[in-house]
Structure 1
């Protein structure tokens, strides 16, 4: 997806933020795989994004925007691998709610409604 006039957030980024806000409200930390699962529940039309796109968006929100923090989740078995666990920080929560409320107000994203 292309950015409107070179700035702002595109739909995939808004969808990731919508899921991050919902998971934050549930007080959950999440991995990229859990994010993809929640994106499927969010989008009734099943317009999925692939794992690489989701990972790029999450990484951009961690490094460039500093909306997300992460920690490492250790494996539960000897054969498992560690994975990153993400969560919204206060700056990210404020920015996410503002962006989602704007997208909802414009009428292009009915799934962007933020409660609370």
Structure 2
């Protein structure tokens, strides 16, 4: 058997998807595609000459996602009474405008 499994007393960290990992040592020479690798059902490391390098890569590719920074809430600009909002027909229809009453033909 050229690919024995290596057991770790502390166990291997699971992958990001939660699958259990296994450490395999391919006894062929490095030029023939041998070396240490750690794999699970969904991913595997590349083969390394040293077992510590394979474990370091496994931990690197399966490290927990970084927490997203909470951004400050956006501060809305103060509302102004002198701003005219143009209606492009994207929102709810505005109520019809009333004309100013006045004298003859709308003149004061």
For normalisation by structure 1, the TM-score amounts to 0.19
Which structure has more RCO (C-alpha within 8 Å, separation ≥ 6)? 1
Q: Which structure has the highest helix share of the two?
A: 1
Which structure would you say has the larger Rg? Answer: 2
For normalisation by structure 2, the TM-score amounts to 0.20
